[in-house]
Amino acid sequence: MHLPLSTQQMTAESATLDSDVPQRFLEHSAYLSWLGIQIDTLGSASATIRLPAKSKHFNPAQGTSKAISGGVISTLIDISGGFAIWTTCDDPERAQLSTIDMNVSFLHPASDDLIAVAEVVRSGDTFGVVEVTVESADEGDRVVATGRATYRIGTETSQ
């Protein structure tokens, strides 16, 4: 996926996070590049990430009723949570995050663009916890999934 992280997409709040780390992360992952995830905002202890729905995201087992795959939604939760934690790191350029636990509740099927809003619950020196809400952008902001993830926080030298 190519992440167009430009100043047009970033809010005034996120403009203070002067780093291309999120863009580089997304561009260097073949899977994330394929998904087409876009960063709407990176704030202080928060992230809003968008996934434009494409036919490749749909679960083929759903037959004629199209629904975005749970794996795709789980990835969106994981990535948005990681970016939210990343905004709290003392040295974001060197931060290394690993997902160590994640729980996802699927509430409704989704067939349109998704927006994940991640809010940090706690972030410390060695781990952080994030809650994420995923809404369907074209279905009246209907909540389609929620998630909670825990990340190990380290640096390049501590991993």
Q: Where are the domains of the chain?
A: 20-55+65-155
Cα separation, 42 vs 46, in Å, equals 6
Tell me the two tokens of residue 1.
């996926």
Name which of 64, 66, 145 is nearest 103 in CA terms.
Answer: 145
Neighbours of 125 (CB within 10 A): 10
Tell me the fold of 20-55+65-155.
Answer: Thiol Ester Dehydrase; Chain A (3.10.129)
Half-sphere exposure of 92 (CA within 13 A, CB side): 19
Instruction: Give the pLDDT confidence of 18-42 residue by residue, as tens digits.
Output: 577 777 788 888 888 889 998 999 9
In this predicted model, what pLDDT tens digit does every residue of 108-156 receive, in sequence order? 999 899 999 999 999 999 999 999 999 998 767 799 999 999 999 998 6
Per-residue model confidence (pLDDT) at position 5 = 32
Q: How far apart are CA 144 and CA 36, in angstroms?
A: 19
pLDDT of residue 52: 94
pLDDT one-digit tens code per residue, 64-121: 678 999 999 999 999 999 999 999 998 888 889 999 999 999 999 998 999 999 999 9
- Of residues 10 and 22, the one with the higher pLDDT is 22
- pTM (two decimals): 0.83
pLDDT at 29: 83
